[in-house]
Amino acid sequence: MLIRLGIGFTVALVILVLAAVWSYRDVAIWPQVGEKVVALTFDDGPNPPHTQALLRELESAQVSATFFMKGANAEAFPELVRAVAAAGHEVGNHSFYHRPMLALGSAAYVEELQRTNRALESALGYLPHLFRPPYGLQGIGLTNALKKLELRSIAMGVHGSDWSEKDAGLITDAILADIKPGAIVLLHDGHADVADPDAQDSRAATVAATRALIVALRADGYRFLTVSELLALEQQ
């Protein structure tokens, strides 16, 4: 009996591992490139006034970035969605409510993605082609839904824990310690777990860290690309 249970557990574990590997097979995590380039990405916005402050920093430095937006926030602040795109930045889908999508059924996956797509298309006039899974969690159901909607899943290679860390210097130092060519850098201009788009608090530390990162990385010879531009350089 114990042997049968052990075999059953082992088989189940192998299936789970294989399913996880399959689910992440097309997820962009750290593109292999031959140049000193990185992509700055910002999740969970729009979040006034901090998204606007971030846009000013990026414009001043002449840096393009990629913003993965919560659908609920995009619905609430369509003018800010347009401002991000008008400034030359890339906009991606980050689900509607930022729920851990592994816990959802297949219909809920599609609804989360489509509702966010509708909000972004309404503001921009076109559909996004990039998606970032909430909390980085992706399973078979989400992978199939993304394929159906022609969305490429984007993870991250480097972060500074700015969802909880409020010291801009510590955020900056953590990212610089791990940076390498091709890095997709995770930062936040909004808050994942705040249901009310008007109730988000400050992302001032992220704005300050972004300024410091651009200065430090540029001094080290790095260029800044959108995620799509970075993926286009990926070595096969």
Q: How far is CA 11 from CA 4, 19, 21, 74, 108, in A?
A: 11, 12, 15, 43, 29
Catalytic residue among 43, 44, 162, 189: 43
Nearest to 184 by CA among 39, 58, 47: 39
Nearest to 159 by CA among 225, 218, 95, 206: 206
Catalytic residue among 89, 94, 188, 191: 188
Residue 207 CB partners (closer than 8 Å, separation 6+)? 50, 53, 54, 57
162 labelled catalytic = no
188 labelled catalytic = yes
Record the tokens describing residue 202, joined without a space: 């400050």
Helix, strand, coil percentages (3-state) for the chain, rounded to 5, are 50, 15, 35
How far apart are the C-alpha atoms of 167 and 164, rounded to whole Å?
A: 9
Residues 64 and 90 sit within 8 Å (Cβ to Cβ): yes
Which residues are the active-site residues? 43, 188
